[in-house]
Amino acid sequence: MSIRAREGRSLLTLVGVTVMIVFVLAGARLVIPAKAAAPDPAKGAEISTQCAVCHGSDGISVDTSVPNLAGQRYPYLLAQLNAFKQGTRKNPMMNELARPLSQEQIEDIAAYYASISIHAGQATKSK
């Protein structure tokens, strides 16, 4: 085999391998969905301005009939907002408010309220 033919073959192999790598990478991008962004409490804080009229600007509610959200656990907030959105937890106001929220917005809101630190006073035993 001539030197030129051998060079030609190794060039073909190189091109072939490059094409294969490109296909594998392109395929991986199609198969593996882009990693969802981490929940963003700052974005959640922006959305929470819609909630402040009842839940307070810092997650401490304005009325005894409304639960506080400040310092609540992230997974619990996520579960409740999804339940309101899906209608499995029923409250006409909350169902209406949660329905238009995207999964990302729900995660951001939950991250925001969970990020507020609260300091409970020492509990005293009631008589």
Q: What is the per-residue binding string for ligand HEC in 95-124, x denoting contact by CB under 6 A?
A: --x-----------x---------------
**Minimum distance, C-beta of residue 14 to ligand HEC, in the bound complex (Å):** 56
Residue 97, helix vs strand vs coil: helix
For 80, which DSSP code? Answer: H
Q: Residue 54 interacts with ligand HEC (CB under 6 A)?
A: yes
Please check whether residue 77 is in contact with residue 10, taking contact to mean a CB–CB distance below 8 angstroms. Answer: no
**Minimum distance, C-beta of residue 113 to ligand HEC, in the bound complex (Å):** 7
Q: Which lies closer to ligand HEC via its Cβ, residue 10 or residue 91?
A: 91
For 108, which DSSP code? Answer: H
